[in-house]
Amino acid sequence: MAATRTGWDEMGAKSFSLMDEKARCAVQRAIIGFEKDEENHWVARLECGHGQHVRHDPPWTVREWVTTEEGRASRLGVKLDCKKCEEPGQG
């Protein structure tokens, strides 16, 4: 199974895609808000109630938008793959 470089995702991070069954069956949920976790990292609150980290951690993950209130507000409504909703019995 090969990974293919796809460029930048809608969240402003470098994106790589694995063309496998799991990638085609991703469960996407809209961002409805943001909060910080106990380690002071930003977490996107998704419409399903789950959270997903959206770190700005250059050079590995570049999401400079997460560092400002305006940047975070601009991402409200953007859909992310919810890893927890993909788990059996979730959703």
pTM above 0.75, yes or no: no
Pick the CATH number of 27-86 from 2.60.40, 3.40.30, 2.40.50, 3.40.630: 2.40.50
- Taking only the tens place, the pLDDT of each residue in 20-44 is 444 556 899 999 999 999 999 999 9
User: Is 79 within 8 Å of 55 (Cβ atoms)?
Assistant: no
Check: CB of residue 63 under 8 Å from CB of residue 11. Answer: yes
Checking if the pLDDT of 68 tops 60, the result is: yes
In the chain, what are the domain boundaries? 27-86
CA separation for the pair 10, 48 (Å, rounded)? 19
CA distances, 35 to each of 1, 7, 22, 41 (Å): 36, 27, 28, 8
